Every structure is written in structure tokens, then in C-alpha cells.
A and B are shown apart, each in its own frame.
Chain A
């Protein structure tokens, strides 16, 4: 009997495996899309970040449309590690990857061997804007004051923000360029995430900090940091009292948008089906509720319009990174 025990356990385990193999797949709804195959969605970042949040919100919103979507994380290097792995799914329309503005910068500054040319852009989904803040007790009065200090001594004005080559650093470069200073001379102190950058800012060691509006909203409302300007075209409904960079006299705009791409080489019919699915998703009640809750702006854009937009953004990013000496 004792001898037979391991074999019995093995048989039992196999039975359990076979018995649970239909778990989790709401096959009924999935049937009419991509021959009922399950979608897989890569979040090219660690759990907890913006791309991870986007992927998991998509997973929830897509549930009613295509059943279970699988989300997995490939963290690191502004998404370029995920991108380099995504390449191998050439022609497979069930594979999707979340990406965004930050990935454009990372591709340039990391000299990534794989670029977005190896993907099929599907849709832009959301947008978040950057906000420039100073500690509550800072002597900096407003954006014009900050600009004045930058003109006087560029190196003495330190900016705490996210990863090198990311949206925040690009924004500081654009600002320096717009006010006639050398983008390469900006004293930007990179951190591995918005939380860390905020910690440095709150310690009072940095002149100013930059981060996504949705990340800093709580701090701004609590009064621990003072907002100087937002990077959007118009004032944001969530921060009506904060001027845009343009209003404050700096002709710069920057949207930290997020979108989704499929592998290169998928059939045009599949591409259209995926675009259609994304549009339907953004119209769903679940997605509307997500945007509201997270403070993300709706930025749905598909087809040639999205392709064109991507091209323009790539050029902007490339230009400023070269000027900053980062690419």
C-alpha cells in the first residue's frame, strides 16, 4: 500500500488537472471573436505601474465582450524588454501589448533593437497629463518664477521625476528648449518611480517635481505640494485652479498617453476586428467608470489617425532626446 501511494497521488493529480481544465474560460461569449481564442495582454511593466493598471482595467472591461483575457507582466527598461519579447508573436492577432508615450522615449534612449515598426498599432486609449509641483513651503512662487530661476542658473534648479528618458525628463527638456535654455543642461534627477521621486521632493532637497496628475492629485488636494502648471492643452477639470504651461508662458504641451498594439504581420481583417473591439470597450460602462475613478482622460484614436499620431510623437521625442544628449 505504501509503495502505491505516490502513484495514487499522481493519478489523483491528473484527474484534478483534467477536471479543472475548463475553469475560467467564459467560452460562451468568446465564440464569435478570433475563433474563440483567448486574448493575451502584456503589461510591459511591473505590477502596480500605469501600464499594469491599464492592462488590468482592460481585462475587467473586456470580460463581458470576449470572456477571460490573460494579463501578464514583463517588467523593465521603459517597456523595451517587453517590446523585445513581443516581437516573437509575429502574425498572432490574439497577442496584445499595452504601451504609451514613455515607450517611445525608452526605445530611443535605450537604443532598443526592436521598435514599434515591429508592431501593428491598434488604438490609443487614455491620456494622463504631467503636473509640475513644488513643496508646500517652497519659495518658488509660480511657474514664471521657476523659469526665471532656470534662466539665471539652470543647474541650480533641480527636478525630481521618474525614470531617465521618461515623460517627465522629456518635459523638462521641452521646457528648457522653449525658454531658450540648453536642454542638455537641465538638472534632472531620475528615480525609478513616481513614488520615489515624490519622496525626494517632500524631503525638500529638490526644487521642483514632476509626475502624472492622477498620481499627485491626492498630494495636491492635501496641500503637501503646490502645483505650478499642468502639461495639457486646456485646464483640467480635476485641477481647475492650475494654469496650463501655455497660460504660464511656456509654449509646451505633453500628454502621457497609453495605447495598445498587436504584433506585426497580422491579417487586415483581424486588425480591424481588434480596433473595433477596442472602440467598443472604450464605450462600455465599465471603462467609463474606470476613467472616472482613475482620473484618466479618454483619448480613443484608431486606424490611420493613430498611426499618424504615433509618427509625429516619435519625431518630437527623438528631437528633444537628441537635444538633451540622451539619444
Chain B
């Protein structure tokens, strides 16, 4: 996925490292603050010991990663690349969350078929008609096996599946 020698990819990697490193440092602060809040026990190693250690490591490694990313990153090339794809990614995330809200209303089969279709199309599938058919079949088969056969109860819509 990442070609180490291609300049745009390397640039991407540097930027991602910087971002991930910063998130880790932020996470470290949260972990350490949360650890300080814990009520200590009389044991030799209390509940805050592990979070303190892990939080510190998280901060250190995050810092190193961010520093490395910032040092090797050049911010000019490839800015416009992938803007549209970023939108697609956002759309997929929205689809996933929407799935949660639609599921109890329309039942498993329809919601999952819709999820499949949306995901496949965002991934660049041709032939929308066939994608819908595949999604429906897959969701229906999953429902048949797990709900009807094994007895795992999946949410059903007003039509019973």
C-alpha cells in the first residue's frame, strides 16, 4: 500500500506519522489525567500504576513519531490529491453510523443490503444493479443462517426479516 520510494507516498506517511504522533500525545495526557483521578488502594501496585506507565510511554513514542514525521515531511506536493477520496471516506463513516439508526426500524436484511451497496459503490464498484442484488442475497443468507437456523436473534423489520 505504501511504496517507500515514491515521494508522494512518503510525504503521506510523514503527515500521517505527525498526526498519529500528536493524537498519541493527546491520548497520553488523557490517560495520565484519568490515572491521577483514581482512588489509590493499599496494594504495592495500585490501579494508577499501569495507566501512568502506559500513558508515559504513549506520550514518549507519540512524540518521537510526530517529531520524525515533522522532520521528514514536506508540505507542498500532493495537497489536492485525494480531497475527493477524503469525502468518500467521510461518506462511508456516515453510512456506518446511519446503519446503526436504520437497523431497528427496517430490520437486518434491508439495512445490511443497503450498507453493502453503499460501501461497494464508495469503493468504486461498477454495475449498481448487480451490487444491490449481491448485497441483498448476502444479507438474506446471513439472516437465514444466523437468525433462522442458529437462533441468534437479529433485528427484524415490520415484514419479519
Q: How far is the CA of A72 from the CA of B39 in the complex (A)?
A: 35
- Let me know if A10 and B140 touch, CB within 8 A: yes
Q: How far is the CA of A201 from the CA of B66 in the complex (A)?
A: 47
Q: Does A139 lie at the interface of the complex (its beta carbon under 8 Å from any beta carbon of B)? A: no
Chain A residue at minimal CB-CB distance from B131: A6
Q: How far is the CA of A325 from the CA of B140 in the complex (A)?
A: 52
Q: Does B151 lie at the interface of the complex (its beta carbon under 8 Å from any beta carbon of A)? A: yes
Q: Which residues of A contact B123 (CB under 8 A)?
A: none
Q: Does A48 lie at the interface of the complex (its beta carbon under 8 Å from any beta carbon of B)? A: no
Q: Does A9 lie at the interface of the complex (its beta carbon under 8 Å from any beta carbon of B)? A: yes
Q: Does B4 lie at the interface of the complex (its beta carbon under 8 Å from any beta carbon of A)? A: no
Chain B residue at minimal CB-CB distance from A40: B153
Given contacts A6-B134, A7-B133, A13-B137, is CB(A20)–CB(B153) below 8 Å? no
Given contacts A6-B130, A6-B133, A6-B134, is CB(A13)–CB(B140) below 8 Å? yes
Q: Does A269 lie at the interface of the complex (its beta carbon under 8 Å from any beta carbon of B)? A: no
Number of A residues, CB within 8 Å of B: 21
Q: Does A237 lie at the interface of the complex (its beta carbon under 8 Å from any beta carbon of B)? A: no
Q: Does B109 lie at the interface of the complex (its beta carbon under 8 Å from any beta carbon of A)? A: yes
- Let me know if A17 and B130 touch, CB within 8 A: no
- Let me know if A16 and B144 touch, CB within 8 A: yes
User: Which A296-327 residues sit within 8 Å CB-CB of chain B?
Assistant: 325
Q: How far is the CA of A198 from the CA of B140 in the complex (A)?
A: 44
Q: Does A24 lie at the interface of the complex (its beta carbon under 8 Å from any beta carbon of B)? A: yes
Closest-CB distance, A69 to chain B (whole angstroms): 11
Given contacts A24-B151, A70-B153, is CB(A13)–CB(B144) below 8 Å? yes
Number of B residues, CB within 8 Å of A: 19
Q: Which residues of A contact B148 (CB under 8 A)?
A: 20, 23-24
Kindly supply a per-residue 1/0 record for chain B positions 10-42, scoring 1 wherever the CB is within 8 Å of any chain A CB and 0 otherwise: 000000000000000000000000000001001
- Let me know if A10 and B136 touch, CB within 8 A: yes
Closest-CB distance, B113 to chain A (whole angstroms): 9
Q: Which residues of A contact B151 (CB under 8 A)?
A: 24
Q: Does B161 lie at the interface of the complex (its beta carbon under 8 Å from any beta carbon of A)? A: yes
Q: Does A238 lie at the interface of the complex (its beta carbon under 8 Å from any beta carbon of B)? A: no
Q: How far is the CA of A18 from the CA of B160 in the complex (A)?
A: 8
Q: Does B96 lie at the interface of the complex (its beta carbon under 8 Å from any beta carbon of A)? A: no
Q: Which residues of A contact B42 (CB under 8 A)?
A: 155, 185
User: Which B112-161 residues sit within 8 Å CB-CB of chain A?
Assistant: 129-130, 132-134, 136-137, 140-141, 143-144, 148, 151, 153, 160-161
Q: How far is the CA of A88 from the CA of B41 in the complex (A)?
A: 36
Q: How far is the CA of A72 from the CA of B148 in the complex (A)?
A: 15
Closest-CB distance, B116 to chain A (whole angstroms): 12
Q: Which residues of B contact A20 (CB under 8 A)?
A: 144, 148
Q: How far is the CA of A79 from the CA of B38 in the complex (A)?
A: 22
Q: How far is the CA of A9 from the CA of B137 in the complex (A)?
A: 6
Q: Which residues of A contact B137 (CB under 8 A)?
A: 6, 9-10, 12-13
User: Which A5-60 residues sit within 8 Å CB-CB of chain B?
Assistant: 6-7, 9-10, 12-14, 16-18, 20-21, 23-24, 40
Closest-CB distance, B75 to chain A (whole angstroms): 44
Q: Which residues of B contact A325 (CB under 8 A)?
A: 39
Closest-CB distance, A306 to chain B (whole angstroms): 28
- Let me know if B153 and A72 touch, CB within 8 A: yes
Q: Which residues of B contact A72 (CB under 8 A)?
A: 153
Closest-CB distance, B11 to chain A (whole angstroms): 41
Q: Which residues of B contact A6 (CB under 8 A)?
A: 130, 133-134, 137
Chain A residue at minimal CB-CB distance from B129: A7
Q: How far is the CA of A70 from the CA of B140 in the complex (A)?
A: 21
Closest-CB distance, B14 to chain A (whole angstroms): 40
Which residue in B39, B134, B161 is a CB contact (below 8 Å) of A17?
Answer: B161
- Let me know if A10 and B144 touch, CB within 8 A: no
- Let me know if A17 and B133 touch, CB within 8 A: no
Chain A residue at minimal CB-CB distance from B140: A13
- 14 inter-chain pairs at a CB distance below 8 angstroms, sorted by A residue, are A3-B130, A7-B129, A7-B133, A10-B132, A10-B134, A10-B140, A13-B136, A13-B141, A14-B136, A17-B109, A17-B143, A20-B144, A23-B148, A40-B153
Supply 4 further A-B pairs (C-beta < 8 A) apart from A9-B137, A10-B132: A6-B133, A13-B140, A17-B140, A17-B143
Sorted nearest first, the 7 A-B pairs with minimum C-beta distance are A13-B140, A6-B133, A21-B160, A10-B133, A10-B136, A9-B137, A17-B161
